[in-house]
Chain A
Amino acid sequence: MSKRITLKDLDAYYGSFRAVEGVTLTIEPRSVTAFIGPSGCGKSTLLRTLNRMHEVVPGARVEGEVLLDGRDLYAPGVDPVLVRRQVGMVFQRPNPFPTMTIRENVLAGVKLNNRRIAKADAEELTERSLRGANLWNEVKDRLNLPANGLSGGQQQRLCIARAIAVQPEVLLMDEPCSALDPISTLAIEDLIEELKQDYTIVIVTHNMQQASRVSDRTAFFNIAGTGTPGRLIEYDDTRVMFSRPSAQATEDYVSGRFG
């Protein structure tokens, strides 16, 4: 179910501004990889290049290669819609569809694509996805109520359920806990630990404790100054990154000396 992602000399642009420069790294399947770094260093931009959501912003483009199990996502003829069905994404702020019920939100990937699904299959998919997101017990009695009646943490887990309902290979998470309280954060971190069994997970976070708790590998990004592109400074096992990093900037950042 999960796939290896390889980035080769990747540059990401917004118009003429280069936001990310020369990133080369490999993300292993069935692992959690954390992107850390100060604000504006291009972690979220880089994450969004992994499922071609980067180009949704007008003027944004990418140079270099992103290989998903050896196949380039940016090769000519690749349909971004099909890429996004394999590489799911969870956003910073919970964004359930306000016009839909909880059940419809979980099934959004199916329903919005006009695919027919038998009633029994829909029930099964809803329950499996919500169980996978640790939300089933909390919402099973109100599946037909509007989704924005849930708390922020529940909404975020609903968004995760919605993302895994389309059965992607990879799950990208862009600061999924930054709008949540500690208890909801814990619930999501436990969930990431479980999802790792089936998915390749890439998570952007500002919270270094979170990176050290949930991730297997950590990539540290930094910028030389405002207006300069973000670069990959160091990429290693999380334990190494937080105990004896090789770059001075990484050590300064993880020990809280800046950022």
Chain B
Amino acid sequence: MVLSTPGPALHSGALPRHSALGLFALCLAVTGTLFLLLLLSGITPAYNIAGAVFFGLVLWAATISAVSFLVEGSRRAKDRLVTALVCTSFGVALLPLISLVFTVVTNGIARFDGAFFSESLRNIIGPGGGALHAIVGTLEITLIAALISVPVGLLTAIYLVEYGRGAVARAITFLVDVMTGIPSIVAGLFAFALFQLLTGDPGIRLGFGGSIALSVLMVPIVVRSSEEMLKLVPNELREASLALGVPNWLTVGKVVLPTALAGIVTGVMLAVARVIGETAPLLLIAGYTDSMNYNPFDQRMMTLPVYVYTQYTQPGTDVQPYLERAWTASLTLILIVLALNVIARLIARFFAPKLPH
């Protein structure tokens, strides 16, 4: 009886469940073979992996939507097409990243050894030596930059969100926006000029100056991210606290900040990750050296980005060990940033408001 009921169809054709995935493998195989033929016929000097993947994705988007149009109708076909395009964009966005990590790891692994992390470059001409002085310099300069930027940035954000009204707050917001756009070399010149004036030494170089330059770059990022996090704290919590007879400053300190802490910590870590790879300002004010220098307030101080730069631009007669050191220093820098991100996530999870399960 039910079957005999007339009316519009409720069924349409459907592709088998994993047909999209299967078709993708097929398309990859096709373009893979094509590029293999190109290699064998001598048109391309080496096998073009990126080309094979990219054209495989394009071919997949075209075939999946065509097949779906024939079997499933136009609405499903549009869905398949857009899904395929989104996946293609994701793949395209991912290719440079994978390629970069792959290149840095393969080139950097050669000198990723004990000596690299326990020696400086003092009296090293040719192979050997390490980057301990640069690692120490990077960590010290960035740590001091964070120690300067976090209080300034966080307090500015608290002022803007909790207290600032009218013209003053608008002016600060505008200046922070302007600061975000300062080129890093200008920050370096600012720090250089500042210490030149303070010390009277026309060729001043010191690690602390690098920290100042980096904090000029870091403060606006910290302000911006903390501001957003503080704005996310529901106003109801502030009112709940005020209604209990808690003064405003204690409300900010004990209700608003703890609630936003996870986001603020994440923002600070991302700001650190952003400035730790700065080269230009450090080249100007921290300078470069081959020797250990633990004191950021005196003499030149090496940092990892500057180390990479000098190893690459000023090699000795035997270029290979210099290039290897540059790659390994790049790898080290990426690992430090990666570690900071992992730490930020762990801290964020640890401090996040406890949610019901």
Which residues of B, 230-287, contact A by the 8 Å Cβ criterion? 234, 236-247, 250-251, 254-255, 258-259
Known contacts A146-B355, A146-B356, A148-B354: A95-B240 contact under CB 8 Å: yes
Nearest CB of B to A141, in Å: 16
Q: Is A112 an interface residue (CB 8 A)?
A: yes
| Cα(A32)–Cα(B247), bound, Å | 28
CB neighbours (8 Å) of B243 from chain A are 51, 53, 84, 88-89, 91, 163
Q: By the criterion CB–CB under 8 Å, are A113 and B245 in contact?
A: yes
Chain A residue nearest to B257 (CB atoms) is A99
For chain B, what secondary structure do more than half of its interface residues adopt (helix, strand, loop), or is it mixed? Answer: helix
Q: Is B75 an interface residue (CB 8 A)?
A: no
Range of interface residues on A (Cβ < 8 Å) = 20 to 34
Chain A 154-166 interface mask (CB, 8 Å, partner B; 1/0): 0000010011001
Nearest CB of B to A123, in Å: 20
Q: By the criterion CB–CB under 8 Å, are A148 and B355 in contact?
A: yes
Q: By the criterion CB–CB under 8 Å, are A95 and B250 in contact?
A: no
Q: Is A114 an interface residue (CB 8 A)?
A: yes
CB neighbours (8 Å) of B247 from chain A are 81, 113
Q: By the criterion CB–CB under 8 Å, are A163 and B244 in contact?
A: yes
Chain B residue nearest to A150 (CB atoms) is B356
| Cα(A81)–Cα(B237), bound, Å | 16
Chain B residue nearest to A172 (CB atoms) is B243
Residue tally, chain B, CB below 8 Å to A: 25
| Cα(A159)–Cα(B241), bound, Å | 11
| Cα(A216)–Cα(B197), bound, Å | 76
Q: Is A85 an interface residue (CB 8 A)?
A: yes
Q: By the criterion CB–CB under 8 Å, are A95 and B239 in contact?
A: yes
Q: Is B17 an interface residue (CB 8 A)?
A: no
Known contacts A56-B239, A91-B239, A93-B236: A166-B245 contact under CB 8 Å: yes
Chain B residue nearest to A108 (CB atoms) is B244
Known contacts A99-B258, A99-B259, A114-B250: A109-B245 contact under CB 8 Å: yes
Q: Is B353 an interface residue (CB 8 A)?
A: yes
Chain A 84-98 interface mask (CB, 8 Å, partner B; 1/0): 111011010101111
Pairs of residues from A and B, 8 with the lowest C-beta to C-beta distance, nearest first:
A85-B245, A146-B354, A98-B353, A149-B356, A89-B243, A95-B236, A109-B244, A84-B245
* B interface list, Cβ under 8 A from A: 165, 234, 236-247, 250-251, 254-255, 258-259, 353-357
Sample of 7 more A-B contacts, CB < 8 Å, known A85-B244, A112-B244: A58-B165, A83-B245, A84-B245, A99-B258, A109-B245, A146-B353, A149-B356
CB<8 Å pairs between A and B, sample of 7: A56-B238, A89-B243, A98-B354, A99-B258, A146-B355, A159-B240, A162-B244
